[in-house]
């Protein structure tokens, strides 16, 4: 039986008719190949209808992949103790023999990798239903749009994608024959209690030659929701070829005086304040995770790739994240993952500002206080990387431009990570090149629970996308630097750091203080405030911050606060600058000369300032 006939044999008449109407022979052949390989019991094809969306929701419940909670529309999914985060060790690019992406990324020879995938996927869906879904990255009907097809045997994964992405069957019908879609094949593998069991055989492999992604023996959404970080890798390659940027960035509107609104993008590694920044009270959110940036009519414009949020729920509470906290406690279509479910059939998570539960069910199974794992370690009542999945239009602060096919003009770009010692709360770059290199390309962050491995390690993460680059880092930097060509007024680049600590380990800024840093940036890009020039960039004037703290937070901001937060620590800054220079020297590839020129120029400025003023310099020492 040929591949297409195998596909037809597994579909009901309505499902196969949906595929025929796409009029795409190559797609049918690929889908048929996947059916022959995975051998599902049946195949269900989704279009854009609410009927198909409801079918997936119900299958998620009846299969046990999700469980209904007390609040209408709320469900919970558990991934199991060994499947709780992205898995960099088993995420790799399939490359032709002789091709390299340099350090920091795993690669495997393409034919060898495809052979192993054939072995892993063989009969992986036996006894299960295969779901075929069509989505669109970016608003449909725009130059941001990329058609995608997802195959999965997990109704939870399919349900998650329906919340997070725009349904794209109709868009697919219009463009799929003209434009090669991104393709994703996923199987949860062998299940026990709806948890993937063979996690030691977990694979998340990206085939750049075929613009396809394969994932197996996992259900954690960061490894399986194809259109998220997996698609980002494909989109970056496409962007490099076509002259635009696909970025791991939030997109938000910051509201200024007299009804003004300025749009900013921002790149933050996981658990570094990205979603909480995008969700700040008083501002509006277009997206919290991935944005496409294009040049149009002499401006940089951006759109959110997604229509939903797959957010870390830890520490979400009414005080620090009021919009999210309000949304996830009301009836709506929301998936919670790896939280605890208490006796009232309601979710609990770490940092929710309520008394700890005594018992319940979590990612480990039945849980009670004092429970330990096989190694004698206490099991927390919820996982540090527990999540919520919801649609952006559920939020009262969603921006009206979310579905605008034209996108929005970008006035500023923010880079931020976890840095307890070096970076200041907020700085503005001198120009595009200085910002790209000393802020974006120098981004480091102390690791968290969102990635498997030890916490608290300093990770080099340029543009917060090192894990997602499908090219040499040198090529990505070159595309970034050349992106400014033809644009008179490029977005202003800023760095932020919400995680400065004092000598005793206490944070120097409160969580809500980021509202002030963003308001200052909005004023700065519109020319409403001045700044002090340091060797590393521009910082706010004390008078402006004192006024903003009163206006925005109704909070006193003292000169002592300012001096402590914006004190320039030259030895630490020099150490970081040299460390970044050494990292780029070890790349052994064609790093753009501007990288070394810009970093060495900053190093020179720091040394000259150190000779004149000493190691630790208060802001008043600068003009």
pLDDT digits (tens, 9 = 90+) for 373-409: 888 889 999 999 999 999 999 999 999 999 999 999 9
* Structural domain includes residue 302: no
* Structural domain includes residue 106: yes
pLDDT band for 471, please (50, 70, 90 cuts).
confident
Single residue among 362, 393, 424 that ends a domain in this structure: 393
Res 477 pLDDT > 90 = yes
Give the pLDDT of residue 563: 97
Question: CB atoms < 10 A from the CB of 456, how many?
Answer: 9
Give the pLDDT of residue 173: 87
Res 288 pLDDT > 90 = yes
* Structural domain includes residue 77: no
* Lowest mean pLDDT, pick from 56-60, 172-176, 273-277, 477-481: 172-176
In the predicted model, what is the mean pLDDT of residues 430-434?
Answer: 97
In the predicted model, what is the mean pLDDT of residues 130-159?
Answer: 96
Of 174 and 582, more confident: 582
Of 562, 437, 455, 551, residue with least CA distance to 495: 437
Res 178 pLDDT > 80 = no
- CATH code of the domain containing 358: 2.170.8.10
Residues 26, 117, single domain; the answer is: yes
Residues 51, 19, single domain; the answer is: yes
pLDDT band for 215, please (50, 70, 90 cuts).
very high
* Structural domain includes residue 269: no
- CATH code of the domain containing 46: 3.40.449.10
Report the catalytic residues: 272
Single residue among 330, 361, 393 that ends a domain in this structure: 393
* Residues ≥6 apart with Cβ < 8 Å to 87: 202, 204, 218, 223, 452
* Structural domain includes residue 299: no
Cβ atoms of residues 254 and 261 within 8 Å: yes
Give the pLDDT of residue 391: 97
- CATH code of the domain containing 461: 3.90.228.20
Residues 462, 521, single domain; the answer is: yes
Residues 376, 421, single domain; the answer is: no
Angle at 103 between CA 480 and CA 450, to 5 degrees: 80
Residues 429, 381, single domain; the answer is: no
In the predicted model, what is the mean pLDDT of residues 152-158?
Answer: 97
Percent of the chain clearing pLDDT 70 (strictly above): 98
pLDDT band for 176, please (50, 70, 90 cuts).
low
Of 462, 468, 422, residue with least CA distance to 442: 462
Residues 380, 425, single domain; the answer is: no
Residues 189, 325, single domain; the answer is: no
CA pair distance 252, 270, nearest whole angstrom: 17
Residue 368's domain comprises: 310-393
Cβ atoms of residues 311 and 283 within 8 Å: no
pLDDT band for 320, please (50, 70, 90 cuts).
confident
Res 80 pLDDT > 90 = no
Give the pLDDT of residue 175: 80
List, for residues 42-63, the tens digit of each pLDDT value. 999 999 999 999 999 999 999 9
pLDDT band for 455, please (50, 70, 90 cuts).
low
Res 104 pLDDT > 90 = no
Residues 516, 424, single domain; the answer is: yes
Residues 380, 481, single domain; the answer is: no
Number of domains observed in the structure of the chain: 3
Residues 335, 379, single domain; the answer is: yes
Res 583 pLDDT > 60 = yes
* Structural domain includes residue 256: no
In the predicted model, what is the mean pLDDT of residues 103-110?
Answer: 84
Of 526, 528, 461, 539, residue with least CA distance to 494: 539
pLDDT band for 179, please (50, 70, 90 cuts).
confident
Segment holding 391, helix H or strand E: strand 387-391
List, for residues 232-287, the tens digit of each pLDDT value. 999 999 999 999 999 999 999 999 999 999 999 999 987 788 888 998 989 999 99
Average pLDDT score over the chain: 93
In the predicted model, what is the mean pLDDT of residues 128-150?
Answer: 95
CA pair distance 305, 619, nearest whole angstrom: 40
Residues 331, 463, single domain; the answer is: no
Residues 360, 445, single domain; the answer is: no
CA pair distance 117, 214, nearest whole angstrom: 8
Scored b (16 or more CB within 10 A) or e, 545-577 reads bbebbeebeeeebeeebbeebbbbbbeebbebb
Single residue among 242, 268, 288 that ends a domain in this structure: 242
* Lowest mean pLDDT, pick from 85-94, 224-233, 332-341, 584-593: 584-593
List, for residues 515-541, the tens digit of each pLDDT value. 999 999 999 999 999 999 999 999 999
Give the pLDDT of residue 332: 97
Of 362 and 105, more confident: 362
Of 339 and 503, more confident: 339
Res 102 pLDDT > 80 = no
Give the pLDDT of residue 588: 58
In the predicted model, what is the mean pLDDT of residues 125-141?
Answer: 96
Res 453 pLDDT > 80 = no
SS3 state of residue 256 = coil
* Structural domain includes residue 260: no
* Structural domain includes residue 384: yes
Helices (H), 40-97: 50-62
Helices (H), 204-328: 221-224, 231-242, 274-278, 322-327
State the DSSP code for 376: S
């Amino acid at each position: 039986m040929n591949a297409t006939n195998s596909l037809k044999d597994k579909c009901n008449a309505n499902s196969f008719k949906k595929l025929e109407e796409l009029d795409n022979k190559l797609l049918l052949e690929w889908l048929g190949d996947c059916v022959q390989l995975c051998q599902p019991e049946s195949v269900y094809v989704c279009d854009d209808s609410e009927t198909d969306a409801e079918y997936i929701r119900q299958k998620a419940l009846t299969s046990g992949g999700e469980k209904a909670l007390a609040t209408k529309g709320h469900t919970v999914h558990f991934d199991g103790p060994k499947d709780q985060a992205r898995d960099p060790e088993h995420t790799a690019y399939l490359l032709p023999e002789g091709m390299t992406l340099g350090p920091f990324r795993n690669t495997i020879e393409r034919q060898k990798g495809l052979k192993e995938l054939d072995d892993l996927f063989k009969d992986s869906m036996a006894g299960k239903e295969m779901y075929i879904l069509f989505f669109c990255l970016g608003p449909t009907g725009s130059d941001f749009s990329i058609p995608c097809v997802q195959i999965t045997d997990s109704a939870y994964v399919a349900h998650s994608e329906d919340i997070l992405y725009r349904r794209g069957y109709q868009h697919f019908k219009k463009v799929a024959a003209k434009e090669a879609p991104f393709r994703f094949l996923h199987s949860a593998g062998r299940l026990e209690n709806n948890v993937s069991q063979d996690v030691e055989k977990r694979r998340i492999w990206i085939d750049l030659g075929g613009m396809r992604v394969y994932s197996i023996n996992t259900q954690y959404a960061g490894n399986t929701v194809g259109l998220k970080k997996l698609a980002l890798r494909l989109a970056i390659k496409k962007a490099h070829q076509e002259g635009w940027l696909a970025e791991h960035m939030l997109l938000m509107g910051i509201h200024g005086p007299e009804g003004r609104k300025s749009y900013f993008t921002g790149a933050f590694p996981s658990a570094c304040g990205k979603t909480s920044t995008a969700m700040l009270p008083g501002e509006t959110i277009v997206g919290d995770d991935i944005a496409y940036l294009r040049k149009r009519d002499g401006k940089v414009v951006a759109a959110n790739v997604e229509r939903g949020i797959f957010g870390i729920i830890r520490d979400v509470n009414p005080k620090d994240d009021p919009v999210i906290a309000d949304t996830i406690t009301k009836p709506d279509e929301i998936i919670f993952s790896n939280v605890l479910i208490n006796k009232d059939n309601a979710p609990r998570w770490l940092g929710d500002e309520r008394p700890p539960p005594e018992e319940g069910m979590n990612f480990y199974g039945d849980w009670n206080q004092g429970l330990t794992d096989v190694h004698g370690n206490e099991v927390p009542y919820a996982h540090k990387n527990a999540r919520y999945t919801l649609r952006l239009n559920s939020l009262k602060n969603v921006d009206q431009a979310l579905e605008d096919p034209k996108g929005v003009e970008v006035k500023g770009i923010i880079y931020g990570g976890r840095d307890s010692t070096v970076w200041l709360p907020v700085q503005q770059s001198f120009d595009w090149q200085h910002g790209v290199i000393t802020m974006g390309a120098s981004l480091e962050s102390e690791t968290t629970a969102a990635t498997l491995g030890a916490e608290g390690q300093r990770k080099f993460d340029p543009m917060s996308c090192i894990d997602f680059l499908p090219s040499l880092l040198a090529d990505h930097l070159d595309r970034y630097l050349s992106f400014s060509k033809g644009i008179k007024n490029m977005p202003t680049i800023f760095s932020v750091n919400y995680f400065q600590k004092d000598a005793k380990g206490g944070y120097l800024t409160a969580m809500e203080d980021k509202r002030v840093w963003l308001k200052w940036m909005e004023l700065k890009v519109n020319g409403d405030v001045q700044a002090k020039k340091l060797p590393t960039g521009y910082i706010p004037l004390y008078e402006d911050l004192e006024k903003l703290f009163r206006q925005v937070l109704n909070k006193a901001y003292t000169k002592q606060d300012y001096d402590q937060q914006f004190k320039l620590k030259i030895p630490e800054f020099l150490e970081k600058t040299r460390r970044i220079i050494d990292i780029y020297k070890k790349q052994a590839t064609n790093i753009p000369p501007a990288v070394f020129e810009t970093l060495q120029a900053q190093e020179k400025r720091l040394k000259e300032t150190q000779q004149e003023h000493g190691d630790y310099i208060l802001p008043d020492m600068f003009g």
